[in-house]
Amino acid sequence: MTLDLFGERRDEAIGPGAMILRGFAPGDALLDGVEQVARLSPFRHMLTPGGRQIGVEMTNCGPLGWVSDRRGYRYEAVDPATGSPWPAMPTDFAALAKAAAAQAGFAGFHPDACLVNRYAPGVKMGLHQDRDEAGFDAPIVSVSLGLPATFQFGGTDRKDPIVRHAVAHGDVVVWGGPSRLAWHGILTLKPGEHPQLGRCRINLTFRQAGQR
């Protein structure tokens, strides 16, 4: 962590291997990339294996994309909605994810998947673990854009205590090592209007999903 002469520590350790890098991402500069990705692979509501619609709208970029349908959760190289490969990961997305991981102590991160989540007010993501990836050695890097939200972050045991952290446009969170399999979620998004994104929050989640 670097000394901040202006009095505000912007890198905040929130657990073993987990860190919030406040304002690390050039939020506005990433919005073009989100728009380009969504033009090729539009946001959509996926189905849970039980057949319910997921409230968060999703798309992906990069070699692999996370999908959910009646057959289960998995990573796919082809977007089932278009029949084409997911859009390429914008070079500034990948560079940002690698720099954030390095800043949090995880050098050598090479994400092959970027899940793009879009939340409207009233939408939440319930507590879960991310375990659809081929391995758990690499960290996960998350970039918040648009409306602010509240993360719920627990431990690797479902019964571990949950703490809440506010995240805003441009904040980056890195979760690795002992926190990689931590339970986490997003509280119901509150109404609001973001200057660039309007009534929505977008989260970019970078992962090493396939075999290295």
The answer to whether 189 and 97 are in contact (CB under 8 A) is no
d(CA 134, CA 201) in angstroms, rounded, equals 28
Told to check if 125 binds ligand MD3 by CB under 6 A, we report yes
Tell me how far CA of residue 125 lies from CA of 106, 136, 138, in angstroms: 26, 21, 22
What kind and span of H or E run contains 186?
strand 184-186
Smallest separation (angstroms) from ligand MD3 to the CB of 201:
8
In the complex with ligand MD3, which residue's Cβ is closer, 98 or 180? 180
Interaction mask 10-49, Fe ion, x per CB under 5 A: ----------------------------------------
The verdict on 130 binding Fe ion (CB under 5 A) reads yes
Amino acid found at 198: G
Q: Does the footprint of ligand MD3 cover residue 180 (CB under 6 A)?
A: yes
Residue 208 binds to ligand MD3 (criterion: CB under 6 A): no
Do 131 and 181 form a contact (C-beta atoms < 8 A)? Answer: yes
State the binding string over 128-167 for ligand MD3 (x if CB under 6 A, else -).
--x---------x-x-------------------------
Burial annotation 137-156 (CB, 10 A radius, 16+ → b, else e):
ebbbbbbbbbbebebbbbbe
Single residue of 24, 27, 184, 200 touching ligand MD3 by CB under 6 A: 184
Q: Which residues bind ligand MD3 (CB under 6 A)?
A: 115, 117, 125, 130, 140, 142, 173, 175, 179-180, 182, 184, 186, 203, 205
